[in-house]
């Protein structure tokens, strides 16, 4: 095995990834090893603790985590849902619960088989232009996984490699035209037949013309299913190659706990970034009466607009927890505003206007009207003005 990690190298062209030839042998050698444990309850419990440690509040959390664990024991996973619901954080939590390291790549509309599988990369060495093989995201992650497995299996190296595998997280999965971009990976992910390596047409020799995907290797993708105007759809064939699990917003009876976790996250961010050692997260922000007054307003907003109305004639706006954390961060930044020393409601008004309302551009008219009706009873003039500007722009096509 190469002593250096394959994941150190990217598309910079500084290193020819086929220099790591031993990794291809290792990938084939360890390809047949399955995950070390299929204990669903234990893995899900580990994931639950990790999620709690990260202040990640999930709806129907135990059932959700069990579904994800079962999906990953079987194959690859797509976490789909509204933005801001913690899908990316959950992906890392799941990898860690399985004792796997992971790295993230973000899909874009420009992705092709070059990005996913690889190809020839133009480079210059000692003044000479040439084309060198470059591994795409999936085979590179698979080789990294093989290296981790091999070191983990070696008794002499296990103390330096506690992880059993390495996984790939693909953020914003549906922003790429994946059906076209995955190329021959489509067949490899299909399973059900004889095992076969992923062919690499650009390989330099027999050893590097294919790479085995270890059975411990997983892809966890995240997908925003709200901004449908900016994403691609999947074929049924591709959909069959992943298990899809929906990650929604917390339930209405979880709002109090959700906002508590959001305040803690924002307070810890402020302390680490600007607050310093003298900043007490609980006393100076989380439990500050001014923060709690703002929390009452936020809770009212979520209860009014986030969920379907009782007769289901108006769908809710699934505003994610991450957006609420952003609002609390702005409250933390403005907590020492000398012009409003006894209240954070002005800061809340500005935060909602600047951080939340701009994300309402794709809402239905009925959803916007519901938000406007609720805001009409609140002392939030900047937020009301921002919503009116958004509605006017939508009406005129700007």
Residues 20-57 have pLDDT tens digits of 667 777 788 888 999 999 999 999 999 999 999 999 99
User: Could you tell me whether strands 210-211 and 198-199 are parallel, antiparallel, or unpaired per DSSP bridges?
Assistant: antiparallel
pTM of the model: 0.88
For the stretch 154-200, pLDDT in tens is: 888 888 899 999 999 999 998 888 888 888 888 888 765 457 889 99
pLDDT > 90: percent of the chain: 59
Give the start-to-end residue ranges of the domains of the chain: 6-246, 252-396
Q: Any residues with CB less than 8 A from the CB of 68 and at least 6 apart, and which?
A: 47, 77, 79, 90, 94, 245
pLDDT range class, residue 318, cuts 50, 70, 90: very high
CATH of 6-246, one of 3.40.50.300, 2.60.40.420, 3.90.199.10, 3.20.20.140: 3.40.50.300
| Cα 187 → chain centroid | 25
- Residue 230's pLDDT band (boundaries 50, 70, 90)? low
User: Which tokens sit at 309?
Assistant: 């109305």
Q: What is the maximum span of the chain, computed from C-alpha positions, in angstroms?
A: 72
61-87: pLDDT as tens digits:
999 999 999 999 999 999 999 999 999
Inter-residue long-range contacts of 70-74, CB under 8 Å, 24+ positions, other chains counted: 70/40, 71/243, 71/245, 72/98, 72/218, 72/220, 73/35, 73/38, 73/40, 74/243
């Amino acid at each position: 095995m190469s002593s250096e990690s394959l994941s150190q190298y990217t598309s910079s062209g500084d290193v020819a990834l086929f220099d790591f030839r031993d990794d291809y042998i290792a990938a084939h050698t360890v390809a047949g090893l399955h995950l070390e444990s299929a204990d669903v309850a234990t893995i899900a419990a580990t994931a639950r603790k990790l999620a709690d440690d990260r202040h990640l509040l999930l709806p129907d959390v135990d059932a959700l985590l069990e579904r994800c664990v079962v999906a990953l024991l079987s194959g690859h996973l797509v976490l789909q849902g509204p933005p801001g619901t913690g899908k990316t954080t959950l992906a890392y939590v799941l990898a860690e619960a399985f004792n796997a390291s992971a790295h993230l790549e973000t899909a874009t509309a420009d992705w092709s088989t070059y990005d996913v599988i690889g190809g020839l990369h133009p480079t210059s060495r000692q003044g000479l232009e040439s084309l060198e093989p470059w591994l795409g995201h999936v085979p590179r992650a698979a080789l990294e996984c093989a290296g981790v497995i091999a070191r983990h299996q070696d008794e002499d190296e296990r103390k330096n490699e506690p992880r059993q595998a390495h996984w790939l997280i693909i953020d914003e999965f549906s922003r790429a035209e994946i059906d076209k971009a995955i190329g021959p990976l489509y067949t490899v992910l299909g399973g059900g037949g004889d095992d076969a390596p992923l062919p690499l047409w650009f390989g330099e020799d027999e050893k590097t013309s294919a790479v085995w995907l270890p059975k411990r290797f997983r892809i966890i993708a995240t997908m925003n299913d709200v901004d449908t105007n900016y994403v691609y759809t999947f074929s049924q064939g591709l959909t069959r190659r992943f298990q899809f699990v929906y990650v929604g917003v917390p339930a209405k009876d979880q709002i109090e706990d959700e906002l508590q976790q959001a305040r803690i996250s924002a307070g810890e961010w402020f302390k680490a970034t600007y607050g310093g050692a003298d900043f007490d997260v609980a006393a100076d922000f989380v439990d500050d009466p001014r923060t709690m007054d703002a929390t009452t307003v936020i809770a009212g907003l979520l209860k009014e607009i986030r969920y379907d109305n009782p007769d289901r004639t108006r769908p809710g706006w699934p505003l994610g927890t991450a957006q609420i954390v952003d609002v609390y961060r702005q409250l933390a930044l403005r907590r020492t505003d000398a012009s409003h020393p006894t209240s954070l409601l002005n800061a809340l008004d500005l935060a909602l206007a600047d951080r939340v309302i701009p994300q309402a551009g794709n809402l239905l008219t009925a959803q916007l009207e519901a938000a406007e009706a609720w805001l009409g009873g609140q002392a939030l003039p900047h937020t009301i003005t921002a919503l009116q500007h958004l509605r006017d722009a939508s009406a005129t096509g700007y």
